[in-house]
Amino acid sequence: MSLEPPTLEDVRAAAAEIAPHLPLPTPLVASPALSELLDADVSLKLEFATPVSAFKVRGGLTLAVQLTEAERAAGLVTASTGNHGQSIAYAGRMHDIHTAIFVPEGANPDKVASIRRLGAEIHEVGERFDDAVRAAEAHADATGMRFVSSGDEPHLIAGVGTAALEVLEQQQPETDVAIVPVGGGSGVCGWLIVRGGLGHAAEVWGVQSAQAPAAYESWQAGEVVTRPNLTTAEGLSTGAGYALPIAIIRADLDRFVLVDDEAIEQALVALLDQQHVLVEPAGAASLAAALAERERLRGRRVVLVCSGANVTRAQLLAILERVDR
C-alpha cells in the first residue's frame, strides 16, 4: 500500500463518493458564549452530526470505495477504541463488506454496541488500544483480511479531509485558526492537505492529551516514537505515532498543543454549559486547547472541531462529579 499523502483532488473525489451516505455538510455553528469566553470569533464544527456520532465515518466510506474486488471479498479488519471501528463497520454495512473490529477490553460500551449493531464481528482484546492493534494485525495475517490502519491509510485521510473542505471552501473561508483533536492524526492531516491545496491562510493546530502524547512527541522528534498511553479520552488514545500522519504534520502543522485530561473534562463541561453541546472527551479537546492558548487567539476567527459525541452516561456523570468537585 502506498503511503503517499492524498491531494486536494483526492479530498474532492472523496466528498462526491461519501455524499450519498452522509448528511453533509455537518453544521458549523457560531458560539456567542464561547466567543465571549475566549474574546474571539468562535465557531464549532459539529463533526458528531453523522450516523455514528463521529467524524471518522467519512474516512471509512472513502476507503470502501477504493478497495479491490479481492479486498472486498476478503473483508476488513481493524483495531479501534470505538469511533474508527464504527467508521469501518458502517462502511462495511453500506457496501456489503464483512468487517472484524478489535477493541480493548472495557472499551466504551456505547461504541461497541454501535459497532455490533452495524453488523461487524467484535473482538475485545487487551487493556489498551495498542494491544488491540497487535491482535487485529495477527488476525489479518491468519485470515487474509485487509488490515485497516487508523493512521497510515491515505484514503482515510482524504475522507476525513472533506470536513476541512466544507469549512475552508464552502462554509467559512475567512477562518484564521482551526483547532483539531489528534489521536492517530488522520483528522488534522485532512485539514493540512485541504489548507495547502486551497492555498488558504488559516493556521491549523493540533491538540493531544498529555496522558497519551505519542503523536506530539513524534512531531517534535521527527520520527515515530512510542509513549505511555494513559488518557481517559479514548478518542485520543494511542501509544505510538503513525508514519504518514507524522510526515504530514511535521511538514505543515502550525502549532501542536498538549492538554491534560483534567482540562479536557473541564472543556467538555464548558461546552455543555456554554453552548448546550454534549461531546465525548476527545470532542472537547479543541476547546481545551483554545482555553490554554486564549492569548494567541484573542480577536481571531477560530473554528473548534468537535470530533465526536459518543460519551456514555456513566462517563458523563463521573466527569460532572469531578469537575464540580
Per-residue pLDDT for the chain (325 aa), expressed as one digit of tens each? 568 999 999 999 999 999 999 999 999 999 999 999 999 999 999 999 999 999 999 999 999 999 999 999 999 999 999 999 999 999 999 999 999 999 999 999 999 999 999 999 999 999 999 999 999 999 999 999 999 999 999 999 999 999 999 999 987 678 999 999 999 999 999 999 999 999 999 999 999 999 999 999 999 999 999 999 999 999 999 999 999 999 999 999 999 999 999 999 999 999 999 999 999 999 999 999 999 999 999 999 999 999 999 999 999 999 999 998 7
Task: Cell numbers for 297, please give them.
Answer: 487567539
Largest CA distance in the chain: 55
What's the pLDDT at 289?
98
Question: What CATH number was assigned to the domain covering residues 8-55+154-324?
Answer: 3.40.50.1100
- What global pTM score does this model have? 0.97
* Segment (H or E) for 85: helix 83-95
The owner of cell 498529555 is 210
User: Which residues of the chain form CATH 3.40.50.1100?
Assistant: 8-55+154-324, 57-148
What's the pLDDT at 250?
96
Measured at the CA of 25, the angle between CA 27 and CA 55, to 5 degrees, comes to 80
Look at the chain and count its residues: 325
Contact 323, 267 (CB under 8 A): no
What's the pLDDT at 3?
86
CA dist 23 → 55, 102, 136 (Å): 12, 28, 31
Phi (first) and psi of residue 161, to 5 degrees: -65, -15
Identify which of 10, 135, 124 has the alpha carbon closest to the alpha carbon of residue 77.
135
What's the pLDDT at 1?
59
Cα–Cα dist 128/126, whole Å: 6
- DSSP secondary structure letters along 242-253: -HHHHHHHHHH-
In 10 A of CB 294, how many CB atoms? 14
What's the pLDDT at 171?
77
Beta bridge partners of 305: 45
Identify which of 172, 165, 190, 164 has the alpha carbon closest to the alpha carbon of residue 302.
172
Q: Assess if CATH 3.10.20.600 describes domain 57-148.
A: no
What's the pLDDT at 172?
65
Q: Describe the chain by its helix, strand, coil percentages, rounded to 5.
A: 50, 15, 30
